[in-house]
Amino acid sequence: MSYTAEISRANPTCFVFLIDQSLSMSDPIGGAAVPMRKADAVAEAINGFLSELCVKCAKEDGVRDYFHVAVIGYGAEVGPAFRGGLAGRWLVPLSEVAAAPYRLEERVPVPVATMTAPGATGLAGGLSGQVAQAIAERPVRVPVWFEPTAFGDTPMRAALAGAHAIVREWLAVHPGCFPPIVLNITDGESTDGDPAPIASDIQELVSADGPVLLFNLHLSEDRSDPIAFPPEQFRLPDDFARKLFSMSSRLPEHMRAMARQQGLTLEQGARGFVFNADASSVVQFLDIGTQVLNVR
Amino acid sequence: MRARVSSLWLPRTGCGPAEYQDAFCPRVDGERSGPRLRFALADGATESLLSGRWADLLVRNYCRGPARQVAGVLDGAREIWNRQLLTYPQQREDAGRPIQWFEERGLARGAHATFLGVQLSSGRAGSRRGAWSAVAIGDTCLFHLREGRLLASFPIDEAGLFSSSPPLVSSRRNGAPDRTEAARGDWLKGDTFVMATDALARWFLQGAVAGRSPWSELASAVAAGPAPFAEWVHERRSLREMADDDVTAVTVDVL
């Protein structure tokens, strides 16, 4: 059965993010609580995702390298999008990602009072309650690796070619890994040629645990409802949407299960593709599309 | 009553003893006696920080603390944990390893572990029989064996019921009640109780369904001692019969 390989430091996997940084990414995104550019929403979602991944893989002795991560921007140029100490690096072990954010912003987390049910014993009352509250209300530092950028065209084909090279090289060294996942976030059509053939090349790469996964998300400024994880292309509005659909892998069963937990009912054959995504569907796309099992 | 306890454990592949996140109590093998004997095993969650230490605190608080109900044991452990956590940042500063940004959120979220506690109580004086009771949160399992037969499997009795997100005991009381399950029964002299964390427990139940006698195979592996036991686990892992996770087997023979 595919997509069941255990992920460990001895057998890590990788995520490759492709981020459209073309000029149109400076347009506002639909569905945001406060007005926001598409580039801002994506930067926030990617930084939030990386931060959460580091927290989940953190142990007393540091962040464990269950994952290696690449963030590739494509706009005026195609290349690694990390800033600061990681600038110029393509695929980076998660421990190094954690060690070198571009900057840390200090924020106060949600107060513990709002997270505690009335009448709960133990930490909710007495000295231990105060202690827990003191711990939970300590300011936390929020990392930023990736800044919003919106300039230039949409060289999606070159970005996919970059991802293909990274993943092929990775598989040569890690042939038994959980299949790498490539997530492409864009708001427009490719300006450097048809991306479908290279997308197909990516999907033909395999580890012993199954084919590489390629998922696509299309951002929109309009208010029409997102089409999330469709199983068929006839429901899609135009050729561009159908093209991205055809470039997207089917979601493995465990990702569909994760989607069900989030209240989505996905049909058999649902693709890792969201069309007309708003701000919240970017976060959901990353959540579902990076879901893995058996992290050890 | 008297019982003999022996525990064997092994971290997942590529991890050292310091990275092992199961915890059990008592830590020392050998014979125990008394009107009431307690044993506990917990499995620290992979995705939370300090979970091995939390698992250790839970099992020690159950076995060594006053004989309270499980809710009191868990809340008592939370009290101790949160007091310790107040000084933890300073300890890290003093050790020259200040807390990193990625630990702050993990510490605020709390540590998590499964928990299994087992109590054996004497019967009437001179009786060959007594009572056992067990409490569990999550998928750390108890197997009750008598004369080569599996009498009880708790809290999971089918290999298909293991999941990647079992119920866990959190070091933070966040309003949700602990998902505690309880079981009880009788023991006879000569009975064996095996406590196992999920990878081993799942292997055990898969073997039972397949009509093998996994308890015999496990008993031989345990009796052979730490090195042969480790070799036996490695072999199960390489044959993909057992998940590559921390493995702990606590065996209690009623004497």
What pLDDT sits at residue A59? 85
Is the distance from CB of A174 to CB of A13 less than 8 angstroms? yes
What residue numbers bound the domain in which B124 lies? Answer: 2-254
Tokens of B37: 């004997």
What does the alpha-carbon distance between residue B67 and residue B78 come to, in Å, rounded to a whole number? 17
Cis peptide before A211 (omega within 30 of 0): no
CB–CB of B85 and A131 under 8 A?
A: yes
**A72-76, A127-131, B57-61: the lowest-pLDDT one:** A127-131
What pLDDT sits at residue A246? 95
Q: What confidence tier does A115 reach under pLDDT thresholds 50, 70, 90? A: very low
Q: What confidence tier does B193 reach under pLDDT thresholds 50, 70, 90? A: very high
What does the alpha-carbon distance between residue A250 and residue A247 come to, in Å, rounded to a whole number? 10
Of residues A261 and B246, more confidently modeled: B246
- DSSP letter (8 states) at residue A63: E
Q: What confidence tier does A137 reach under pLDDT thresholds 50, 70, 90? A: low
What does the alpha-carbon distance between residue A11 and residue A176 come to, in Å, rounded to a whole number? 7
List the one residue out of A171, A207, A147, A188 whose CA is nearest residue A276: A188
* Per-residue pLDDT at B244 exceeds 70: yes
* Per-residue pLDDT at A118 exceeds 60: no
The verdict on residue A5 lying in a domain is: no
Give the minimum alpha-carbon distance from A122 to chain B in angstroms, rounded to a whole number: 6
Section A261-288 average pLDDT: 89
Q: What confidence tier does A123 reach under pLDDT thresholds 50, 70, 90? A: very low
Of residues A239 and B251, more confidently modeled: B251
Section A53-73 average pLDDT: 92
A45 and A29 share one domain: yes
What rounded mean pLDDT belongs to chain B? 92
What pLDDT sits at residue A129? 56
Section B19-23 average pLDDT: 93
Domain of B192, CATH number, reads 3.60.40.10
**Which one of A140, A159, A186 terminates a domain?**
A140
List the one residue out of B120, B125, B128, B160 whose CA is nearest residue B38: B120
The verdict on residue A242 lying in a domain is: yes
CB–CB of B243 and A6 under 8 A?
A: yes
A206 and A129 share one domain: no
A115 and A215 share one domain: no
A222 and A167 share one domain: yes
Q: What confidence tier does A109 reach under pLDDT thresholds 50, 70, 90? A: low
Paired residues of B134 in beta bridges: B118, B183
Quote the crossing angle between the two packed helices B70-94 and B51-64, to the nearest 10°.
Answer: 140
Give the three-class secondary structure for A19.
Answer: strand
Cis peptide before B26 (omega within 30 of 0): yes
- Contact B150/A at CB under 8 A: no
Of residues A221 and B111, more confidently modeled: B111
Q: What confidence tier does A132 reach under pLDDT thresholds 50, 70, 90? A: low
A82 and A68 share one domain: yes
Section B130-141 average pLDDT: 96
CB–CB of B105 and A140 under 8 A?
A: yes
Section B193-215 average pLDDT: 93
The verdict on residue A80 lying in a domain is: yes
**What is the percentage of chain B residues whose pLDDT exceeds 90?**
75
Give the minimum alpha-carbon distance from B143 to chain A in angstroms, rounded to a whole number: 25
A81 and A136 share one domain: no
A165 and A133 share one domain: no
- The residues, any chain, with a CB within 8 Å of residue A114's CB and separated by 6 or more, are none
Section A155-181 average pLDDT: 97
pLDDT, one tens digit per residue, over B43-88 is 999 888 899 999 999 999 999 877 678 888 999 999 999 999 989 9
Q: How many domains does chain A contain in total?
A: 2
> Residue B116: how many CA atoms within 13 Å on its side-chain side?
28
What does the alpha-carbon distance between residue B61 and residue B74 come to, in Å, rounded to a whole number? 8
Give phi and psi for A107, each to the nearest 5: -135, 155
Is the distance from CB of B115 to CB of B58 less than 8 angstroms? yes
Q: What is the 3-state secondary structure (H, E, C) of chain B?
A: CEEEEEEEEECCCCCCHHHCCEEEECCCCEEEECCEEEEEEEEECCCCCCHHHHHHHHHHHHHHCCCCCHHHHHHHHHHHHHHHHHHHHHHHHHCCCCCCHHHHHHHHHCCEEEEEEEEEECCCCCCCEEEEEEEEECCCEEEEEECCEEEEEECCCCHHHCCCCCCCEECCCCCCCCCCEEEEEEEECCCEEEEECHHHHHHHHHHHHCCCCHHHHHHHHHHCCHHHHHHHHHHHHHCCCCCCCCEEEEEEEEC
A230 and A122 share one domain: no
What pLDDT sits at residue A135? 58
Most confident of A58-67, A127-136, B179-188: B179-188
- Contact A208/B at CB under 8 A: no
How far does Cα A65 stand from its chain's mean position?
17
A215 and A246 share one domain: yes
What residue numbers bound the domain in which A120 lies? Answer: 108-140
**A252-256, B135-139, B249-253: the lowest-pLDDT one:** A252-256
Section A101-115 average pLDDT: 67
- The residues, any chain, with a CB within 8 Å of residue B94's CB and separated by 6 or more, are none
- Contact B90/A at CB under 8 A: no
- Contact B18/A at CB under 8 A: yes
**A121 to chain B: closest CA residue:** B173
Q: What confidence tier does A233 reach under pLDDT thresholds 50, 70, 90? A: confident
- Contact A101/B at CB under 8 A: yes
Of residues A114 and A20, more confidently modeled: A20
**A94-108, A130-144, A155-169, B20-34: the lowest-pLDDT one:** A130-144
What pLDDT sits at residue B63? 94
- Contact B178/A at CB under 8 A: no
Q: How many domains does chain B contain in total?
A: 1
What does the alpha-carbon distance between residue B204 and residue B3 come to, in Å, rounded to a whole number? 23
Section B20-27 average pLDDT: 95
One-letter amino acid of A70: A
The verdict on residue A262 lying in a domain is: yes
What does the alpha-carbon distance between residue A163 and residue A150 come to, in Å, rounded to a whole number? 20
Section B218-228 average pLDDT: 92
What pLDDT sits at residue A265? 87
What does the alpha-carbon distance between residue B67 and residue B36 come to, in Å, rounded to a whole number? 9
A21 and A117 share one domain: no
The verdict on residue A2 lying in a domain is: no
Give the minimum alpha-carbon distance from B78 to chain A in angstroms, rounded to a whole number: 7
Tokens of A101: 């954010």
